[in-house]
Structure formats: C-alpha cells, structure tokens
Structure 1
Amino acid sequence: MKNKFLKFGLYSALLGMVLMGFGLLAGRTLNYASQQVLGFVIIITTLVLAIYFGIKKLRDEWHQGYLNFGKAFMYGLLLTFFVGLGIAFMDYIYTQFINPDFYSNYMDYYLETLKNTLSAEEFNIKKAEIEAAPDYQKAAWFMALGMYFATVFWGFFVSLAMAMILKKQKEN
C-alpha cells in the first residue's frame, strides 16, 4: 500500500506542477492582483482534486470501501505535502529561470499600491522596512518555500473538509 500511496502522491505533485506551471505562464499577461487570485484558485483546485480522488481511491480500493475520519484526514494531509512540493517546484522554476525579475517587479507594484493607500510618512516607513529585508527573502527558493507553506496551510482545511465528506464507517 505504501508504494501505491507514494505513486498517487507523485501523481498529485505532478498535477500541482502542471496546473501551477499553466497558471504561471498564462498569468503573465494579468496584473498582479489577478495573478494572486489565479494562484489561489489553482492551489485550491489542485488540492481538492488530489485529496478528493486520493482519499476516495484509498477508501474504495485499498480499505474495502471504509475509511474513518482520522485516516482520511491523515491521507489528505500527506497528499497535501506532495501537492505543495509540486507547486513549490514550479514556483521555483518560474522565479529562478523563467521570470527572474519577478520579485523586483512585484515589489515595484506593491510599493505603488502602498503609495496610493498610505500617507507619505507611513509609506516611507513601509518602504524602508521592505528595502531592509534580508537578501534571502528575495531568492527564488525562499518564495518557493512560502508557496509550499501556503499550500500546506490551505491543504489542512481541504483535507479536513474532504475527510468529513469521504469518511465511511463500517456499520456495527
């Protein structure tokens, strides 16, 4: 069963890579606000697909049609880690090789947004904080790590929901 689960986990990571890769490339023509929405939709969609079909397959084919909430939730979380790896990998490839100026371009957009919403004094304080950020925060691996943790965060809630929906106890 471990090999079967690992195989399904790798499929989940591949799904995350494909959908995120599509989103990153398709989203290049969108503004940053739309890119954020698209990224969120892709993360949630990937998690729902991977976790739903993963738990359903585990329940129906490997557990004779029964799976308690705890095991379903655990399987969902494990699949979340795989999805997170796939999404983070594509984020790294994108920010390291395809669009290495992503961070600086995004910061320009973010600062412009702050400039339009904050007072001059508040803006200068925030700008100084951003410029004082350590260099590692600007690195592709750090942005990918952030994407991984964001995926795992949302995966917790998707796993919770899918475990509640897909659990099936044996009748006594």
Structure 2
Amino acid sequence: MKTTVIKFGIYGLIFAIVIFLGALYFGQELSYSTQEVLGYTSMIVSLIFVFFGIKHFRDRENEGRVNFGKALIIGLLISLITAVGFGIADYIYTTAINPNFFEEYEIAMRNQGYKGEIPEFTSGLAALLMFATVTILGLIISIISALILQKK
C-alpha cells in the first residue's frame, strides 16, 4: 500500500505542479473567472491518480480485492500528496512568478463591480487554502473511487 500511495501521490504532485503553473503562466491574459475554471479543472484532473492508485493497489498488490475503508485511505493519502503539490505551486506562483497577484486580483474584482470586502491574503495563507481545497476535492474523489472500485 505504501508503495502505491507514494508512486501515485508523486504522479499527482508532479502533474499538479506542472499543470497548475502552466495554466497560470500561459493563461495570464485570461480573465480571473476563466483562470479559476482552469484551476479547478487542473485539480480534478490531477486527482485522477486517486482512482488509478486505488485500482493499481486492488489489481496488482491485493489479489483483486479492496474494501471501501482501505480504498478510501489510499485515495486520501494520494490526495494529500497531490494537495501538497498544489500548495507548493500556489506559493511559488504568488511569491516568485507573480508577487503582485493579490493586488491585481483585488483591482480586477473592483473593475468587475464587486463592492464587498476582499480579505487580504498572504502567500502562505493562499497556499494553505489551496491545500485544503484540493484535499476536500480529493476526499470526494476518494469516496467515489472507493465506491466504484471496492471488491471483497
């Protein structure tokens, strides 16, 4: 189980960093709402390794069987590793690639007519929020994958 989690978690982590930074770098001219859609899409695509990790464990390491609980644990662990990748990518983006991101985002929101209060973020807080978001999505994908792949 440990080997599967590490292997597929690292696949998700690498994919997360590459796709996240790539989408942000190449999508700089896109609106923030389009970038947000691309961001969530990249999270979901990166978390596909949860499904494949559970399937690999079931078919190749556990004689074709895995119960829901074990599948859920494997999926969550893979999700956590992938979430670390997104947190790192977010931190790199907001500190090195575009350190003015938060100011630019606030200006864009105001230009779109948003009149409410916009909370101030730091790079560390934004990375933590990204980690939490990917972990929650990973939990959902882990539950769905565990339900689909469980075999007793």
TM-score by length of 2: 0.92
1:106 paired with 2:105, answer: yes
How many Å separate the matches in 1 of 2:35 and 2:44? 14
Distance of aligned partners of 1:75 and 1:65 in 2 relative to their CA distance in 1, 3 Å threshold:
same
CA RMSD of aligned residues (A): 1.5
Number of aligned positions between the proteins: 152
Write out the 4+ residue segments of structure 1 that deviate beyond 6 Å after TM superposition: none
Question: 1:119 — aligned with what?
Answer: none
Q: 2: distance between equivalents of 1:53 and 1:4?
A: 10
> How far has the Cα of 1:156 moved from its partner?
1.0
Instruction: Tell me the SS of whatever aligns to 1:33.
Output: helix
Q: How does 1:1-172 map to 2 (within 5 A)?
A: 1-47=1-47, 49-115=48-114, 123=115, 126=116, 129-130=117-118, 133=119, 137-169=120-152
Query: What is the alpha-carbon distance in structure 2 between the residues aligned to residue 159 and residue 114 of structure 1?
Result: 38
Share of identical aligned residues, percent?
36
Structure 1 residue 18: Cα displacement: 1.5
Deviation (angstroms), 1:35: 0.3
Alpha carbons 2:6, 2:78 under 8 Å: kept: no
Q: What are structure 2's unaligned runs of at least 5 residues?
A: none
Aligned-partner Cα distance in 1 for 2:132–2:24 = 18
Kindly indicate whether the alpha-carbon contact (under 8 Å) linking 2:4 and 2:53 is maintained by their aligned counterparts in 1: no
Unaligned ranges ≥5, structure 1: 116-122
Distance (whole Å) between structure 2 residues aligned to residue 4 and residue 157 of structure 1: 19
Report Cα offsets for 1:120-159 as digits up to 9, x if no partner.
Answer: xxx3xx3xx43xx5xxx43211111111111011111111
Structure 2 SS opposite 1:168: coil
